[in-house]
Amino acid sequence: MGAGSRPPKELIRVLLNNSVIKLDDICREMPRLNWLDLEGNLIETIDNASFQACHMLTVLVLQRNCISHIHDQAFSVMQKLGELDLSNNKLMSIPPNLFILLGDLLQLNISYNPILELKDDHFDKLHRLKSLSIEGIEIDNIQQRMFQPLKYLTHIYFKKFQYCGYAPHVRSCKPNTDGISSFEDLLANIVLRVFVWVVSATTCFGNIFVICMRSYIRSENKLHAMCIISLCCKWPQYCRKLSAVLPLRTQQPGQRIEAFNQR
């Protein structure tokens, strides 16, 4: 059953805002529990026995607790888990092997934790992951290596717009703007795109004409003539950069920016 499919009511347990402090093998009396929501409680620690009998769990929500420590093997029995939400807790680090057996995980949310560092191999075993949320986390050591193993990742959520450049293969990256620049095409309308090309081509031919005429016609002020020719020669550089952006709407945002910078 996928993370988005809601199971029968008898397989769901919701303990929302119940002041739960400790988890002692919560699935022992309900071994077929499929959906567990513990949002908004007071849980501080998750040890290796907290979910010992939760073999059938596909959705686990631990959002808005006080979790500061998770045992390395806390989720090892939940190999059918499809959605895991650890957002808005007090985690300062992620155990290196925490996700190693969660090969079926589709959605992971660790946003808004005071995490100081993410290891470059933290997500290596999440081969089926489609959505990753790490909003509100400053990733000083961020690199493309962290997200390269996530071949099926389609949505990623960062704290900063600049981080999106480290996951160029992901179709949807948020935030998609820093308030000034954006990954979205500024000329999405075909009429505007054609108009820009017409104006660019006309200006380019006009500059070529000016360069040719200035080369053949004698000018009393040679410095003035050289300045005009120099300005005209700068235009082809702009044309090349323009051609790098306008035809590439089908490319990923990171690839489009890289192509623009290279040209």
Q: What is the pLDDT of residues 140-172, one digit of tens each?
A: 999 999 999 999 999 999 999 889 999 999 999
The b-or-e profile of 218-255 (16+ CB within 10 A means b, else e) is eeeeeeeeeeeeeebeebeeebeebebbbeeeeebbbe
Burial of 140 (0-12, 13-18, 19+ CB in 10 A): exposed
Segments forming the whole domain that contains residue 215: 190-262
**Where is pLDDT greater, at 156 or 208?**
156
Q: Into how many domains does the chain fold?
A: 2
Alpha-carbon dihedral 238, 240, 245, 247, rounded to 10 degrees: 130
CATH code of the domain covering residue 37: 3.80.10.10
Under DSSP, is residue 172 helix (H, G, I), strand (E, B) or coil?
strand
- CA dist., res. 56 & res. 78, Å (int): 7
**Are 177 and 194 members of one domain?**
no
Domain boundary residue, one of 183, 212, 234: 183
Instruction: Supply the pLDDT for residue 194.
Output: 82
**Host H or E run for residue 133:** strand 131-133
* pLDDT for the residue numbered 199: 83
Q: Is the pLDDT of residue 15 over 60?
A: yes
Among the residue ranges 125-129, 164-168, 202-206, 216-220, the one predicted with the least confidence is 216-220
Same domain, 30 and 55: yes
User: In the predicted model, is pLDDT for residue 183 greater than 60?
Assistant: no
- Residue 258: which pLDDT band, with cuts at 50, 70 and 90? very low
Q: What CA–CA distances, in Å, run from 238 to 190, 192, 195, 210, 232?
A: 20, 18, 16, 17, 11
Terminal Cα-to-Cα distance of the chain (whole angstroms): 47
β-pairing verdict for 155-157 and 107-109: unpaired
pTM, rounded to two decimals: 0.68
Q: With contact defined as beta carbons under 8 Å apart, do 193 and 246 qualify?
A: yes
Task: Give 91 or 260, the one with higher predicted confidence.
Answer: 91
Note whether 65 and 105 are same-domain residues: yes
